[in-house]
A and B are shown apart, each in its own frame.
Chain A
């Protein structure tokens, strides 16, 4: 681990390493992520469709797009993106996730370049992408501005970054920490630290300072009656997502 010159918080990485083997168990420790996944994918796919003028009804609508999935974990987003035709690099700072993701991609018959690396290291190496997926990562990094700046450097001009995270207010504390970690035991205790949560306005500020133009924000809302997630235009009070474009 080259933690000294990188913004990844070593303690955070260790927590996720312990959880890595169960990535693809629908009813395992990552159940909340599997439940959220279709809704995240709906947002990601329609944003890419709009930005790059693609048609999701095509067989492989994302052909020709180079996509980076930061914090790829077991590949819950990388695999769908590869299936839609994108050339995918999955990066994770937790070394234990990489072999898990590789084994699963091979079983699925998908070509995905999984790497144990960080956004900062890839930016230094001069890697360039059309799309950077930055989902549920920014609340775990030590220096969000440095991290988002690396994301900006990884984008080609006109490229798209999707960034989702958790809002900071009493409701998000109740839902994400008390609800998901303590009561439901969906996530291990200590997965999240509330003071690292970021409000949408703060995130837009950071994104602009990093050199990107924010173009969209939406909420991911969980309905406890239908037990389903959906996308909301107005309710960004707990989980939310943003889209930003690098000026051409």
Chain B
């Protein structure tokens, strides 16, 4: 049988290109299919979106050769403050402070703007050998004994060994495979924007659990920070409709004045918050990655980090299988990926959900339990270090790419 490609990847957002680079770098032939115009995917004006990259995610980007292009535009996260109430009012008794000096690997993470990360990945795709990028859409696939026949909207057919769906929360790859999803709606919406401020943030990220939902201030380069402000849906919709002046007036009391005067530094976005978990992350000749496998609440920027951990695990499973001579798209191989990711995705998905529900609760008793949990955690150095390492993506049986090692 003649194969056009080893792996077809449906979806060219962030996880798809990262996976393509990892696989092609290890000698596999990859076809990346995405319908978006290249210019749309690379628009470089600042739109306010940014990612809190965990240390492991940074390592992966370094291993696939993308990190040098974003390194000098990334803001290291040197401190993290987690607590109740308002930012900048000093440590309340119910707060949790993390400092990067507590782990050996340097900064706890990096804030990288979408306008820098996306073009860096797309440029790397252009330079990589062994990646065929098609501006098209996967409309069908058929799992065969030795491979998968992928059909594109253009009518073109591609024979490969495996189809990977990096096609988001509404993954049509998952739908065609008969993989159903389970979802929870939080009844909350996240408002995302970038803020200019007067005083330097000194690399500090704040995560506050306010009654309406979590509120994060994440440091960007210069005197700018990214805001992720979650509110109950009706309230958030009202905030989203406000003009910029009214929005800033509503933001100020929550943001506090510890960074001085604030102003908007880009567009405002709103995202309804929901959790969606695919009931399986693999099927016959199919694997799911990122939001296609699990769309999570973006508390602490875990969405992209979780996706890149999928990328690291799947790339390693596939490359190791290839070097053993195994058939890449079989249950024997893909079940290793599923087994590796099962605990992490469930833990993060449900962990973020529980934390958010506790701190968004209107019942004082439940909020008190959450606050007590923060104080206890703050007092126990071992648990603290474990939490820091978990958030930084440094725990568990870690794929080689998350350790910046080549495949």
Contact = CB atoms under 8 A, between A and B. Distances in A.
A58 to B, nearest CB: 7
Interface in B310-339: 320-321, 323-327, 331-332, 335
A107 B324 contact: no
Given A34-B332, A58-B27, A109 B324 contact: no
A81 B325 CA distance: 6
Nearest to B28: A59
A45 B325 contact: yes
A82 to B, nearest CB: 8
B124 interface: no
Contact of B324 (A38, A58, A59): A38
A1 interface: no
Contacts of A102: none
Main secondary structure of the interface of B (DSSP, over half): loop
A137 interface: no
A84 B325 contact: yes
Given A34-B332, A59-B27, A83 B325 contact: yes
Interface string B210-254: 000000000000000000000000000000000000000000000
B145 interface: yes
B347 interface: no
Interface in B281-324: 320-321, 323-324
Given A108-B146, A109-B146, A57 B323 contact: yes
B327 A56 contact: no
B173 to A, nearest CB: 23
A127 interface: no
A57 B23 CA distance: 11
Nearest to B336: A38
A45 B332 contact: no
Nearest to A226: B397
Interface residues of B, number: 16
Main secondary structure of the interface of A (DSSP, over half): helix
Given A34-B332, A107-B145, A109-B146, A83 B26 contact: no
Nearest to B335: A26
A42 B326 CA distance: 11
A41 B146 contact: no
Contacts of A34: 332
Contacts of B321: 38
Interface in A31-52: 34, 37-38, 41-42, 45
A79 interface: yes
A127 to B, nearest CB: 22
Contacts of A82: 325
A41 B1 contact: no
Nearest to A57: B27
A83 B327 contact: yes
A247 interface: no
A80 B146 contact: no
B327 A26 contact: no
B325 A26 contact: no
B282 to A, nearest CB: 13
Nearest to B26: A57
Given A107-B145, A107-B146, A45 B27 contact: no
A56 B146 contact: no
Interface string A97-120: 000000000011100000000000
A41 B145 contact: no
B146 A45 contact: no
B52 to A, nearest CB: 31
B27 A42 contact: no
Contacts of A80: 324-326
Contacts of A108: 145-146, 327
A42 B146 contact: no
A79 B323 CA distance: 13
Given A57-B26, A109-B146, A26 B1 contact: no
Contact of A56 (B145, B147, B323, B326): B323
B296 to A, nearest CB: 26
Nearest to A108: B146
B156 to A, nearest CB: 21
Contacts of B325: 41, 45, 79-84
B309 to A, nearest CB: 19
A45 B322 CA distance: 11
22 contacts: A26-B331, A26-B332, A26-B335, A34-B332, A38-B324, A38-B326, A41-B324, A41-B325, A41-B326, A45-B323, A45-B324, A45-B325, A57-B26, A80-B326, A82-B325, A84-B325, A107-B145, A107-B146, A108-B146, A109-B1, A109-B146, A109-B147
Interface of A: 26, 34, 37-38, 41-42, 45, 56-59, 79-84, 107-109
Interface pairs A-B: 7 shortest CB-CB: A80-B325, A109-B1, A41-B324, A83-B325, A84-B325, A107-B145, A56-B323
